[in-house]
Structures are given as C-alpha cells and as structure tokens.
Amino acid sequence: MELNFTKAFVTLGPSLWDGIGIVVYITLIGFALALVVALLLAVGRISKNKVLNRILSFFIELIRGTPLLVQFFYIYYVIPMLLNSVVSLVGIDANIQFKPATCGIIGFAINYGCYMSEVIRAAIMAIDHGQREAGLALGFSERQVLLRFIIPPAIRNSVPVFGNYLVMMIKDTSLLSMISVQELLLRTKTFASQTFMTVEAYTILALFYLVISIPLSQLSKIVERKLKQVG
Amino acid sequence: MAMLEIENLSKFFGDLEVLRDVNISVSKGEVVVIIGPSGSGKSTLLRCINLLEHPTGGEILYQDENITKLGKKVTNYRKRVGMVFQRFNLFPLKTVLENVMYAPMKLNKLPKKEAKDQAMQLLHKVGLENKAEAYPAALSGGQQQRVAIARALAMQPEMLLFDEPTSALDPELVGDVLEVMKQLASEGMTMVVVTHEMGFAKEVADRVIFMDGGYIVEADTPATIFTTPKNERTRAFLARVL
C-alpha cells in the first residue's frame, strides 16, 4: 500500500479548513443555546411546582434516553413533516423545511441542554443552604437570592464540566454528516470515496479534531485552576 | 411599648413539636439572651422571629404588626431586623467590603460611594478595615463573624438576632466577637441572642430566658437566673454548664 499524505493534505486540508468554520459556527451557537436551555431546565427542576417538575424531568429522561443521532434525524425529517401536516389541516400548503445546520443547532441546544441542566441543578443543590438564608435575612426575595447568590456560584462551579461538554459537542458535530451538514466527516468521506486515499483522509481528519479539542481541553483546565484560586 | 411581642407561638416539624406556647416581649434597646440545652428550640425560635421558619401557630407582632401574615412583604420586615448566623454565611465570591456594601446598594439603592464609606466605617467598628479587600476564605472564623455582624449592621437594622454566633469558633476567637456584641448592646441596639456563652449573658443581658423541650421554663434578670433560679431544670442545666 502506497501512502501519500502530502497529496491528500493539499486537497483535503483546505476543504476541512472550510468545514471548521461550519463546525465552530454550529458549536458556538448550539452551546450558547444549550446553556440557556440548561439554566431554564435547572431552575424549573428546583422549583416547588410539582407538575412542572414532573414534566421537565420526563422531558430530560426522554432526551437522555435516546441517541443524539436519532434526535437529529427526528428534527430534520420528522418534525417538518408533522408541522406540514398540522398546517395543511387549516388548508395551507407550507412545505416547511429546516436547514441541516439549523437542525444541528436545535438538536445540540436540546440534548446538551438536558445533560448540562443536571450539572447546574447538582451545583445549585451543592451551594450551602446558609447562603440562601443570609440573603433572605438581609431582605432579598427568594427570586433575588436565587439570581444573585445561588445561580452565579453554581454556574461558576459548573464551568470545568462545561469545558468537557464543549469538547464533546465539537466531536459530536461529526454526527451531522448524516443529515448532510458539510462538516469535517462528510467532506472527508466524499474525498476518500473519490480518491481512494482512505487511510490518509481519515488520519488527517482525526488530526484535525485533535488540533481543535486538545487546546480547548487544556484551556478549560486553565480556567478551572484560575477559578479555584479565587473561591 | 414592646418592640417585639411573641404570643402563644408554636412550631411543628411534621409531627414533632419543637416550640410550644412561647410568649416573649422585647422592648426597644433591650438585650434578651436565650439559653438552654441543644434541641430545646432556641434556634428555631430565633428563626421564627425573622420567618426563616414559619410558625405553625401563634402571633409575632413587630411594632404592632403581625409579621406572620406579611406574605411577600416579609422582605421589608427582614430589612429592619438583622441576623447573624452560627456559620457566618458570608458570600464567598465577594470581598469583605463587597459583602458589607452589597445589600444596602441593591436593596436600599444607596449610591456606591456612600455604601463604601458606610461599609468602611462598620469594618472599622468591628476592627477589620485592613481586611476590606480580602475574601472570606482568607479570614479566621472570628474575623468572618465580625464581618457578618458588619454586614447585618449595614442595613441599619432596628433589632439584631444572633443565632449562636460564637459556637463555631475556636475558643481564642470568641472574645473578639463578644466584644463587638457588647459594644452594640452598650450603644442601645435591641438584641435577641441565642448563645452558650454564660459570661456574656450574665454581663450584658437585661433578661435571660431558659428554654427546654420547646417551651420557656424560666425568664428573669441574669442576676436571678444565675444565682437563684426558681425551676429545678434551670438549676440542673446551669449546674452542668457553669
């Protein structure tokens, strides 16, 4: 077997470089939305409203109990069909479709939001009860106490775990090749099938992922250390 | 006129009765010290006074207003009644200065400069102005508790509640905290103090209340309680702790 990494890199490299733009775009927006979803779910889950609590906990179990890839398929294929048939009931022929990248962002926001909500919830529960009482005793309302004295340190304590989730999300963007997002895996697959440089192509792909994920996880370790120094 | 009037207060945790038929009246400027064995309901009583625990029955009148019926307006009442906790409960991510400045700025809209000046004065008062920029974790327990007192004072409360303020401290650190409390008492602050510090009770209290089993066994001047207690249980308790 003859391997020619240089030749493969000259063609595949620029294509992957373009793909990184899409990966970063989906990851950044997906992660930001996942944080919002996580926070809302976590606050909902610690509320005293039992009905809300049950509904949210069922939803989280539903999402965590099904594969992310299946969820992407569901958002990409099933939800537009359901929406179209609902809309057609009122006599409109809308032909709703989502862009693949949009499906990726929605899927990540919901799936990672559910996982990260449990991290935030645990972090909230771990905040010393005395913080709440000190806030209340000064005259802050329950809501102010939650927003000012409970959630900020809880999120701060969650940051190291969030770093891991961010790296996981970047790697999980490869799943989006299945719904035709032009990310790294799909580009590599196309290249490999056209050139038969299978070994070179997938090795270069793996290196590309490492080049993104290793610095990121190092960065999250540095942030973790910095946070420990203050608190 | 009584500032705080507690009438027939009772508190259950589930089936467990922790306070029974408690009646206390506290006048302005008075220092009331509550003593008693662990589990006697002292802390629960104090927590009921600022509604961290909601009483099961009875009334708590603060300046003639029944505070158990305040609902969401309880925050206005709590701004006027400060509380100091056994475990200090400082905000760990804020500096000492920020801990003291924060509530008046956010709740009373005090301008930052005034809040800072006031906070520095209060830190001076508790002897910690040189720790203003430190984080709570860098302070000893006694120092943290004095910051907690300054934090409570920053809201300019009319009354202060102390829940075993020295029980979590190493013995050599207790004195500094008690000094600050004595000073407050001498300045006329109305105080309700749950403590095991019998020396403080003897020296500073206008009235000592002995609780056991969820109700008030005996309430009198420190001179009477500590020298000629009327009740056998008070005598037995004091014999153990003195």
Is the dihedral angle over the CA atoms B180, B181, B185, B188 positive or is it negative?
Answer: positive
Q: Read off the pLDDT of residues B149-199 as tens digits, 9 standing for 90 and up.
A: 999 999 999 999 999 999 999 988 999 999 999 999 999 999 999 999 999
Q: Read off the pLDDT of residues A159-168 as tens digits, 9 standing for 90 and up.
A: 889 999 999 9
Per-residue confidence band for B228, with pLDDT thresholds at 50, 70 and 90: very high
Burial of B33 (0-12, 13-18, 19+ CB in 10 A): buried
Cβ neighbours of A193 (radius 10 Å): 11
Contacts of B72 in chain A (CB under 8 A): 141
**ipTM for this model:** 0.94
Whether the pTM exceeds 0.90: the reply is: no
Q: Do B83 and A153 touch (CB under 8 A)?
A: no
Closest residue in chain A to residue B154, using alpha carbons only: A138
Map residue B102 onto helix, strand or coil.
helix
Q: Do B76 and A139 touch (CB under 8 A)?
A: yes
Phi, psi (deg, nearest 5) at residue B189: -70, 135
Reference B236, options B219, B217, B220; nearest CA is B217
Give the model's pLDDT for residue A230.
62
Q: Which two tokens stand for residue A77?
A: 């294929």
Q: Read off the pLDDT of residues A13-65 as tens digits, 9 standing for 90 and up.
A: 999 999 999 999 999 999 999 999 999 999 999 988 999 999 999 999 999 99
> How many whole angstroms separate alpha carbon B42 and alpha carbon B44?
5
Min Cα distance A98 → chain B (Å) is: 43
> How many whole angstroms separate alpha carbon A46 and alpha carbon B204?
43
Q: SS3 string of chain A?
A: CCCCHHHHHHHHHHHHHHHHHHHHHHHHHHHHHHHHHHHHHHHHHHCCCHHHHHHHHHHHHHHHCCCHHHHHHHHHHHHHHHHHHHHHHCCCCCCCCCCHHHHHHHHHHHHHHHHHHHHHHHHHHHCCHHHHHHHHHHCCCHHHHHHHHHHHHHHHHHHHHHHHHHHHHHHHHHHHHHHCCCCHHHHHHHHHHHHCCHHHHHHHHHHHHHHHHHHHHHHHHHHHHHHHHHC
Q: Do B85 and A149 touch (CB under 8 A)?
A: no
Reference B195, options B222, B163, B242, B173; nearest CA is B163
Q: Do A141 and B72 touch (CB under 8 A)?
A: yes
Within 8 A by CB and 6+ apart from B66, the residues are: B59, B60
Alpha-carbon dihedral angle through residues B219, B156, A154, B169, given to the nearest 10 degrees:
-50
Where in the sequence is the domain holding A128, given as residue range(s)?
A: 5-230
Q: Do A138 and B135 touch (CB under 8 A)?
A: no
Phi, psi (deg, nearest 5) at residue B98: -65, -35
Residue to mutate among A138, A144, A159, A230, with most B CBs inside 10 A, is: A138
- Domain count for chain A, please give it: 1
Min Cα distance B212 → chain A (Å) is: 25
Smallest Cβ distance to A138: which of B87, B93, B155?
B155
Chain B CB within 8 Å of residue A228 CB:
no
Within 8 A by CB and 6+ apart from B154, the residues are: B100, B101, B103, B104, B115, B118, B119, B122
Q: Read off the pLDDT of residues A70-90 as tens digits, 9 standing for 90 and up.
A: 999 999 999 999 999 999 888
In this prediction, residues B68-75 reach a mean pLDDT of 91
Q: Read off the pLDDT of residues A89-107 as tens digits, 9 standing for 90 and up.
A: 888 888 889 999 999 999 9
Contacts of A231 in chain B (CB under 8 A): 92-93, 135, 137
How many residues are there in chain B? 242
Q: Is the pLDDT of residue A128 over 80?
A: yes
Give the model's pLDDT for residue B67.
94
- The domain that contains A139 carries what CATH number? 1.10.3720.10
Give the model's pLDDT for residue A231.
53
Q: Do B83 and A137 touch (CB under 8 A)?
A: yes
Rounded to 10°, the helix B141-153/B112-125 angle is 130
Q: Is the pLDDT of residue B109 over 80?
A: yes
Phi, psi (deg, nearest 5) at residue B159: -145, 145
Q: Any idea which residue has 């799943």 for tokens?
A: A175
B60 alpha-carbon distance from chain centroid: 16
Chain B CB within 8 Å of residue A128 CB:
yes
Q: Which two tokens stand for residue A104?
A: 């990726």
> How many whole angstroms separate alpha carbon A159 and alpha carbon A174?
24
Are A26 and A105 a contacting pair, CB within 8 Å? yes
> How many whole angstroms separate alpha carbon B63 and alpha carbon B1?
9
Q: Which two tokens stand for residue A169?
A: 């999300």
